Amino acid sequence: MGPPVSLLQHRTAGGMVFHLFFYTLWRLRLTFAPAAVSLQLQREAALSSHDSWYIAIEGAIGVGKTTLARMLGDHFDAGLLLEVFEENPFLSRFYEDRARYSFPTQMFFLLSRYRQQQRGVPELLERGALVSDYIFTKDWLFAHLNLEGDEWEMYQRVHDALAEQIPTSDLVIYLQADTAQLVARIAQRDRPYERAMDRGYIESVNQAYEHFFASYQEAPVLYVDTNQLDLVTDPAGLQSIVDRIHSAFQEGTFQRPLPHFESPPVPKRLLGRGRPLGDLQRFHVELDKAKHFDTDLYLNYLFLSEEMGELGSEFAKLWLEEAALAADGTPAAQARREVLRRRRPQLESELADCMAYLLKIANYAGVDLEAAYLSKMEQNWDRSWRESPKVRAEGA
């Protein structure tokens, strides 16, 4: 059965869109893979013989996917699968005229990504670990954003046939950033074909990613806010992501051994690193002087109590919104992620206020909060805890 007549005649005379579709097929010289079951068997064989794992990185345009993929590949001595987008002959024209070139651009990407992942993922997993700067499903996200009508229907049929043959990753790292940050980063890297990209489109892509990952269930997702993260100049930024990857794998989202990882730090060893609470306390000493804040110990305890009440109110709002989503049929885990995403700025603000007053009280009481915390946690680590939640809470 051929494509709908309306598609052949859509947008350009003489069925130009349809010809562009087959031009894409020719350019890629696509060969289809065996059945999905065969690929899965290959994958599991590679995993069992080489202790392989597969991490994919995703996020909106300009968020830093490829940069992080290269760094993690080097850190873990893993294979690297990077998206080859420069080969798309329609991409620059798409940014100039999205309405006209969205379909050929998207079909080229779909088939190109299929070819790369269908061949590359199993081959690299046979050798060991793998880091990629995209997931195959991202193609659907962009197509949903840019296609409609007959083009969207035709795209879905092709996509669904191909997606069954692509292995999914063991973990997805979703990089997030505000649209203003994305615009700045895109301008800084100054790729010629991105110069015609407008802010509105970047915003729509960013929002599409947020909605997409709010319900993504193909693999565990690690959310990383990159607004204040500079991986190139700050090694601590990369280390923080590496530590979170260790936690994600060790806490049960993925149980296979990970080759080339440094031994993940056990909790007690983490205490030896310390944290700069002392610097934060000194900051509040100077801030209180500069702003002439009241340094009365008991008054600031009342302020802390007030902030704790506001934090409690924020959690009440979170709970009500989560319950409303659940009542509408949203899965519990997805509902939790969605309300935390919506109310993250308010929650961050309330938690920061509570922390500020805790630091101030420590100052006014003459307590080195970091030293006190580390000492207390050393004691807790060596204690025996009973299972009763009440006893556990009272012992904290």
Mean pLDDT of 60-75: 93
Mean pLDDT confidence for 333-357: 89
Q: Residue 302 contacts by C-beta under 8 Å, 6 or more apart in sequence?
A: none
User: HSE of 392 in the Cβ direction (CA atoms, 13 Å)?
Assistant: 6
> What pLDDT is stored for residue 43 in this prediction?
40
Residue whose token pair is 């050798």: 127
Q: Lowest-confidence range among 10-14, 220-224, 306-310, 373-377?
A: 10-14
> Residue 213 above 60 pLDDT?
yes
Confidence of residue 191 (pLDDT cuts 50, 70, 90): confident
What pLDDT score was predicted for residue 65?
Answer: 94
CB 90 within 8 A of CB 108: yes
Distances (CA, A) of 249 to 23, 32, 185, 242, 277: 43, 33, 30, 11, 28
pLDDT category of residue 113 using cuts at 50, 70 and 90: very high
Q: What is the pLDDT of residue 342?
A: 87
275 pLDDT band (50/70/90 cuts)? low
Where are the chain's structural domains? 5-264, 270-395
Can you name the residues that pair with 58 across neighbouring β-strands?
A: 174
Q: What is the largest CA-CA distance in the chain?
A: 81
pLDDT(173) > 90: yes
Between CA 25 and CA 136 the distance in angstroms is: 18
**Residue 386 confidence (pLDDT):** 56
Task: Examine domains 5-264 and 270-395 and report if their fold is the same.
Answer: no
Residue 307 pLDDT greater than 70, yes or no = yes
Kindly indicate the confidence band of residue 12, based on its pLDDT and cuts at 50, 70 and 90. Answer: very low
Residue 15 near residue 93 (C-beta atoms within 8 A): no
**Of 383 and 151, the one with more pLDDT:** 151
Residue 71 vs residue 229, higher pLDDT:
71
Q: What pLDDT band is residue 66 in, cutting at 50, 70 and 90?
A: very high
Question: Is residue 197 a contact partner of residue 92, using CB atoms and an 8 Å limit?
Answer: no
Q: What does the pLDDT read at residue 92?
A: 84
Residue that has been written with the tokens 């990159």 in this structure:
226
Banded pLDDT at 367 (limits 50, 70, 90): confident
- The CATH number given to 5-264 is 3.40.50.300
With beta carbons less than 8 A apart as the criterion, state whether 175 and 64 touch.
Answer: yes
Alpha-carbon 255 to chain mean position: 20
Share of the chain above pLDDT 70, in %: 77
Q: What pLDDT is recorded for position 22?
A: 52
Sheet holding 79-81, edge to edge: 79-81, 130-132, 54-59, 171-176, 221-225
CA 138 from centroid of its chain's CA atoms: 13
What is the pLDDT, as a whole number, of residue 20?
Answer: 53
Question: Residue 296: helix, strand or coil by DSSP?
Answer: coil
The residues pairing with 79 across neighbouring beta strands, listed in sequence order, are 130
Mean pLDDT over 356-371 rounds to 88
- The C-alpha R_g of the chain, in whole angstroms, comes to 26
**Is domain 270-395 given the CATH code 1.10.3720.10 in the classification?**
no
Structure confidence by residue, pLDDT tens digits, 23-32: 555 555 454 4
pTM (global) more than 0.85:
no
